[in-house]
Structure 1
Amino acid sequence: MPASSEALTYPIPRTCPYSPPDSYAELRREQPVRRVPTLAGGSVWLVSRHEDVRAVLSDPRMSSDRRKPGFPRLVPGQSDLIFSSKPSMIGMDGREHSAARRAVLGEFTVRRINALRPRVQEIVDEAIDAMLAAGGPVDLVRMLSLPVPSLVICELLGVPYADHEFFQQRSGRIISRATPGAEREEAFFELRAYLSDLVADKVRAPGDDLLGRQVAKQRAEGEVDQEALVSLAFLLLVAGHETTANMISLGSLALLDDSARWAEIAADPAKTPGAVEEMLRFFSIVDNATARTATEDVEIGGVVIGEGDGVIAMGYSANHDPEVFDRPGDLDFSRAARQHVAFGFGAHQCLGQNLARVELQIVFDTLVRRIPDLRLAVGFDDIRFKEESAIYGIHELMVTW
């Protein structure tokens, strides 16, 4: 049945890690801008073509303010959590967003992130040392995918890594659509309380880390806004480890599942940056974070989206648009994939994209160099994917050598 007449509800579950749902191609072809109900109640406009997705994400009339009544709610109780605390920059518009982003932009420049490369390499080597010492089979998610970005973001922010299990468990519950509302709320407030105490410690004794530098900067300009810093820490901590961790898992699977891909990276590490861009495009692990609300009537793709209506700019669909990417269903490391929208587009494009790229490049290069005979220890059908999560990934990836 074509998407134009099929009863769609958003989010649309993934059934295969190597291809989007069939309805995405049908939407692009037949109804690239279409209104559908959501699982949480209400409705939302789905925008599925690459050109239209970029138009939504770059249009100042499309608000990122999650407090607006029409902003897409994808899980029950989401509104209560949104209104319980100050917004972070991901939920700001215009000058407010620009000021918040400008305050931390210097922490994520290419030059600043490249200076972190030696430390990221150390962290990756230490994780692989632990894998080798444990002996296979081991869970790559637990021993590599999670610890690398978690330790990197902890050191960057000034969060004690000893607490990583606490914040990983809570962030996992928050982003899972399968988490009951009461548990999600509990996890949210427990993580906020933890970060509130952490920020209070930074205010008393700022260290040489991102949060400490923000405290010093705000103090020099006037008063320290502790609640705003908690929201910033929440955003960077969750986004800084969940997204990269799941890309490490999926990228590793892609390499292990096809020996030609593994050999390509092993033979020429200069291809790794391009391979990373292609993996980001291909998997597009965050599909529904690019939500907006129209602040006035806006025409997108020939369709008028009404003032106050919620919109989902479908990054996963856009990244598989054949009008932009030839043979989009092929994972092709030679592809020039930098037009992808895996990091979003426009003013809200992911602040940490330079850090994510460096982590992914170092992880994959180090894996193929140090464990050349790494292989899956289970069959593909035994791998459990995070179909219930707002950030797609793998629960456990058993490997050996």
Structure 2
Amino acid sequence: MTGVPEFLTERAPASPFDPAPTLRPDHEAGPLRRVRLWDGSTPWLVTSHVHQRALLADPRVSTRIDSPGFPNFVEGFSDAGLSFLMMDDPEHNRLRRMVISPFTVRRVESMRARVREIVDEALTTMLAGQKPADLVEGFALPVPSLVICELLGVPYVDHDFFQSNSRTFIHRESSTEQRESAITALAGYLDDLIGERIAKPGEDLLSGLAKRVSSAELTRTEAAEIGVLMLIGGHETTANMIALGTLALLRDPEQLALLRDREHPDDSAVVASAVEELLRYLSIVHNGRRRAAVADIEIAGRTIRAGEGIILVHEVGNRDPEVFADPERLDLRRDAHGHLAFGFGVHQCIGQPLARLELQVVFATLFRRIPTLALATELDRIPFKHDGFIYGVYELPVTW
């Protein structure tokens, strides 16, 4: 197929919060067009919000990496470490329901006071240190790492180990061998913890998985793989949203003032609205959500044939002017509900209530505790994560 453009996700240096220019909707091609991947395959690129949502909810669309036509991320990429994330029902639902209970809105809300303590303790430590400080190392990464460790029952003292291996796994340019080594290490680590919980269960999520192993509902390998997915997903995505969201607000003083100077510091509605808008505006899932059609699908005047790949770029769908007025503007007053930052359908992010709570506490607290927070470098010197599956920044120098 000639004349098909390459799929490129690197954002413009002058506009690091905006989707890559090459992913913008092509009005001639419409909301679906072909793109070329590293292996020469030409999956469908879906840019409109309504069609992304429709395909995410369509049972004729598969997440299985071994589905014919699946648009693999890089050469040698496997679904090791991703557990039910890359499965279809009924197997997906069987494993997902094993861990859904701790992530209900009610259960997560009961953690709010503890998350506030974690956020305040991290800020106190950062404020007591030198400045400028790296907000990623000093705050954005420790907060969700400690939260997910406590929820899972993983010793936070091991954070260097699991953070390092997580980074290797989600780095797009890691070799197959490096990625496999990282997942093997994490799986072995979680397997050991599952073994400890089988012998001596507690009240954490790993203990719940261990009980299901003991009752033969799960194999020990399945339990460890679920643990790996929860551990990686529980800290990487939220850490990047904290850092990138902070940077976006520091670059937009007018919007920052709406959040920092809100009339009532405990006004949860203002903070919740701001978090939804940041999720919409930044859309940190990088390289698109990947799927494959298992049957012919008629959509947007096109036919996606069985065995053809699909890439849904939410950073574009979440800027769809048919759904969000003036979508290129960060507007914390906007009703941004309906964004696709957490996906949609049966595969939408299981941890979204926890991510929302953490982000609400972070952005309600950060600028209240440090009202003079400011960048300590120029935008063009900040290292953005163009090379990963999750978008963000490697470091964020700040001062106050």
Q: Which TM-score applies when normalising by structure 2? A: 0.93
> AA paired with 1:228?
E
1:169-248 correspondence to structure 2 within 5 Å = 169-220=164-215, 222=216, 224-248=218-242
> AA paired with 1:392?
Y
Deviations 1:36-72 (A, max 9, x none): 2212443321111111100110000101122323222
Matched with 1:160 is 155
On the 8 A contact 1:34/1:45 being kept in 2, the answer is: yes
Quickly say closer, same or farther: Cα 1:365–1:6, change in 2 above 3 A: farther
> AA paired with 2:9?
I
SS in 2 for 1:43: coil
> AA paired with 1:14?
R
Quickly say closer, same or farther: Cα 1:29–1:226, change in 2 above 3 A: farther
- After TM superposition, give the deviation of residue 314 of structure 1 in Å: 1.5
Deviations 1:139-166 (A, max 9, x none): 0000111000001011111111111111
Unaligned regions of 5+ residues in structure 2, if any? none
- After TM superposition, give the deviation of residue 93 of structure 1 in Å: 1.5
Q: In structure 2, what is the Cα distance between the partners aligned to 1:181 and 1:245?
A: 25
- After TM superposition, give the deviation of residue 205 of structure 1 in Å: 2.0
- After TM superposition, give the deviation of residue 291 of structure 1 in Å: 1.5
Deviations 1:296-333 (A, max 9, x none): 11112121111111111221111011111111110000
Deviations 1:111-139 (A, max 9, x none): 10110001101110110011111031100
Q: In structure 2, what is the Cα distance between the partners aligned to 1:6 and 1:377?
A: 44
Matched with 2:260 is 266
- After TM superposition, give the deviation of residue 223 of structure 1 in Å: 5.2
Matched with 1:140 is 135
Matched with 1:343 is 342
Q: In structure 1, what is the Cα distance between the partners aligned to 2:319 and 2:150?
A: 35
Q: In structure 2, what is the Cα distance between the partners aligned to 1:6 and 1:371?
A: 52
On the 8 A contact 1:11/1:74 being kept in 2, the answer is: no
On the 8 A contact 1:57/1:290 being kept in 2, the answer is: no
The two structures, once aligned, show a CA RMSD in angstroms of 1.8
SS in 1 for 2:109: helix
Quickly say closer, same or farther: Cα 1:143–1:6, change in 2 above 3 A: farther
Quickly say closer, same or farther: Cα 1:188–1:28, change in 2 above 3 A: farther
Matched with 1:355 is 354
Q: Which TM-score applies when normalising by structure 1? A: 0.93
- After TM superposition, give the deviation of residue 91 of structure 1 in Å: 1.6
SS in 1 for 2:292: strand
Deviations 1:55-110 (A, max 9, x none): 110000101122323222111111xx33x67x622122222222222222211111
**Alignment coverage as a number of residue pairs:** 392
On the 8 A contact 1:28/1:49 being kept in 2, the answer is: no
Q: Structure 1 runs of 4+ off > 4 angstroms?
A: none
On the 8 A contact 1:89/1:100 being kept in 2, the answer is: yes
Q: In structure 1, what is the Cα distance between the partners aligned to 2:253 and 2:3?
A: 39
1:49-64 correspondence to structure 2 within 5 Å = 49-64=48-63
On the 8 A contact 1:44/1:72 being kept in 2, the answer is: yes
Q: In structure 2, what is the Cα distance between the partners aligned to 1:236 and 1:339?
A: 24
Matched with 1:12 is 9
Quickly say closer, same or farther: Cα 1:389–1:99, change in 2 above 3 A: same
- After TM superposition, give the deviation of residue 24 of structure 1 in Å: 2.8
> AA paired with 1:232?
I
Deviations 1:229-269 (A, max 9, x none): 11111111111111000000011111212222221112225
Q: In structure 2, what is the Cα distance between the partners aligned to 1:30 and 1:321?
A: 16
- After TM superposition, give the deviation of residue 35 of structure 1 in Å: 2.1
On the 8 A contact 1:203/1:215 being kept in 2, the answer is: yes
> AA paired with 2:223?
L
SS in 1 for 2:35: strand
Q: In structure 2, what is the Cα distance between the partners aligned to 1:295 and 1:109?
A: 31
Quickly say closer, same or farther: Cα 1:164–1:116, change in 2 above 3 A: same
SS in 2 for 1:312: strand
- After TM superposition, give the deviation of residue 289 of structure 1 in Å: 5.3
1:43-122 correspondence to structure 2 within 5 Å = 43-78=42-77, 81-82=78-79, 88-122=83-117
Quickly say closer, same or farther: Cα 1:183–1:135, change in 2 above 3 A: same
SS in 2 for 1:399: strand
> AA paired with 1:214?
L
Q: In structure 2, what is the Cα distance between the partners aligned to 1:42 and 1:319?
A: 26
Q: Which moved more, 1:119-128 or 1:12-21?
A: 12-21
- After TM superposition, give the deviation of residue 194 of structure 1 in Å: 1.8
> AA paired with 2:340?
V
> AA paired with 1:396?
E
1:30 aligns with 2:25: no
Q: In structure 1, what is the Cα distance between the partners aligned to 2:190 and 2:41?
A: 32
On the 8 A contact 2:72/2:290 being kept in 1, the answer is: no
